[in-house]
Amino acid sequence: MSENQSPAGNQQTAAYDSAFLKACRREPVPHTPVWFMRQAGRSLPEYLKVREGIPMLESCMRPDLVAEITLQPVRRHGVDAAIYFSDIVVPLKAIGIDLDIKPGVGPVVEQPIRSRADLARLRDLTPDDVSYVTEAMGILTGELGATPLIGFAGAPFTLASYLVEGGPSRNHEHTKALMYGDPQLWADLLDRLAEITTAFLKVQIEAGASAVQLFDSWVGALAPVDYRRSVLPASRKVFDAVEGLGVPRIHFGVGTGELLGPLGEAGADVVGVDWRVPLDEAARRVGPGKALQGNLDPAVLFAPTAAVEAKTDEILDAAAGLEGHVFNLGHGVLPTTDADALTRLVEYVHTRTAR
């Protein structure tokens, strides 16, 4: 990476020795690094102000706005990493899928993908399709100093769920009907999504991301046998394709207690854990050679400070023997979370773990 003298490469070099990237690489850290999933673009008043009147997808395509929203939680909370402000469906929109992000609902796809003919609508993603991402990351690498920037994408299963259902779903019934009913079409769909996701992650790494996270938020809906057979190959394809690019790869899903072993096998360097499994037990399930990320229940932040600190202590104690630990929530920041509670939590973890 040190040979890369582009502005993005310079920033990646500056961030290389950050606590966050050291923890991802399972090296000794000056303190346990902290960032929060969905730290950007939730309830911060400064976020709501800059987003006023601008639809979500449009805001993802405005580089100055993206850079500002990405930086807001770094300034306010002093987190150890920034996460690029976007959404998992942005690359699908960029290749021409007719979708929108509806306020209070989430991503909605006009014509769901359920047949072989529908699959043909998922064309390759090129860097030109997402030039605003490259531009926004260029602004960010100029502003972030030594703070690492995390790029991200949706994992093939979670993207397939939105495409096949046509929107958010509790039971993923159409998705599972396709997975069990037409295994070949399903495999081809996930393979296509793996290629799009890989192309999107490569754009971000090239533009300055120092780490990438694959969000497989809804994969906990699957039994391990089905995950191994029908999903793992596509996720592994993504991780393999971005291996050796010099940035840690993080893998995250919700409700994955029974899947932590197979998730580890998909190939990430860091495995995200929700709050249902303590980190020491999660480490046993994931196996050696991985750092873990997590795992405070986001709802705990609604309790008094002393209770938040007690739950945080439990997590830090369970993490004491890990090869590497990145402190995070077990899922995204809830929209009505008190911003000051997040700032206090960052300070608490830093102080308690200072070495």
Q: Which of the residues are catalytic?
A: 38, 42, 51, 87, 162
Query: Quick one: 59 or 312, whose CB is closer to ligand 1CP?
Result: 59
In angstroms, the CA 238 to CA 236 distance is 5
- Chain centroid to Cα 287, Å, comes to 21
Query: Quick one: 58 or 281, whose CB is closer to ligand 1CP?
Result: 58
Asked if 293 touches ligand 1CP (CB under 6 A), the answer is no
- Least Å distance, CB 37 to ligand 1CP, is 5
Please, what is the Cα angle at 231 between 229 and 236, to 5 degrees?
Answer: 105
Three-state DSSP state, 166: coil
Asked if 75 touches ligand 1CP (CB under 6 A), the answer is no
Query: Quick one: 26 or 235, whose CB is closer to ligand 1CP?
Result: 235
N-to-C CA span, the chain? 28
Asked if 168 touches ligand 1CP (CB under 6 A), the answer is yes
Tokens of 101: 């992000």
Q: Look up tokens 């008190």; give the residue.
A: 338
Asked if 346 touches ligand 1CP (CB under 6 A), the answer is no
Query: Quick one: 83 or 211, whose CB is closer to ligand 1CP?
Result: 83
Among 111, 109, 9, 101, smallest CA distance to 61 is for: 101
99: phi then psi, degrees, rounded to nearest 5: -135, 160
In angstroms, the CA 200 to CA 205 distance is 9
Asked if 20 touches ligand 1CP (CB under 6 A), the answer is no
Tokens of 42: 């939730």
Site for ligand 1CP, residues 107 to 136, rule: CB under 6 A: 107
Asked if 332 touches ligand 1CP (CB under 6 A), the answer is yes
Asked if 101 touches ligand 1CP (CB under 6 A), the answer is yes
Q: How many residues bind to ligand 1CP according to rule CB under 6 A?
A: 19
Interface contacts to ligand 1CP, rule CB under 6 A? 37-41, 56, 83, 85, 87-88, 101, 103, 106-107, 152, 168, 215, 217, 332
